[in-house]
Structure 1
């Protein structure tokens, strides 16, 4: 969604409706813009991916059913929204 002002290594992102701050420092040198898709793991952006890859990943996660729903619920409960 946006790079946080004063924190060039942090971005506010939307993960299935949950807004979180994630560290984008591992993507140093990558041009990031609102609307870009990034692969996130434990609060770190690992790579920039295209929309087709993102859709495939989301389809897979939604396909595992309750485990994905439980993970989203836990993510919402731990929501961190800076800025």
Structure 2
């Protein structure tokens, strides 16, 4: 199953303006934020992440609601976090 997972922007990737670091369930990964260039993203913002790309900016309340739902999926959510741990777009 492929899921869009909320991630919090925790660092910029200064070497490439389209990359940023997000924290998703304790896993930190670089993602491409280029699709959201017009969103004025800043540290602490939440984005919906899918296959290494930020697809949309979301509110913290929406992120927490989605994370609560995803955690309830159990193994599917754990599998998605494992896939995220094994990926990196450096």
TM-score (norm 1): 0.86
Q: Hey, which of these two has a bigger chunk of strand by percent? A: 2
Give structure 2 stretches of 5+ with no counterpart.
1-9
- Asked if the contact 1:19/1:80 (under 8 Å) is kept, the reply is no
**SS of residue in 1 equivalent to 2:39:** coil
Deviations 1:34-71 (A, max 9, x none): 11100011000011100111011101111111221222
Give structure 1 stretches of 5+ with no counterpart.
none
Match of 1:10 among 3, 6, 19: 19
Per-residue deviation, 1:3? 1.8
Quote the residue 1:80 is aligned against: 88
Q: Whole-Å Cα distance in 2 between the matches of residues 23 and 75 of structure 1?
A: 14
Q: Whole-Å Cα distance in 2 between the matches of residues 50 and 62 of structure 1?
A: 18
Q: What is the aligned length?
A: 81
Q: What is the 5 A alignment of 1:11-30?
A: 11-30=20-39
- Asked if the contact 1:12/1:81 (under 8 Å) is kept, the reply is no
RMSD over equivalenced CA pairs, Å: 1.5
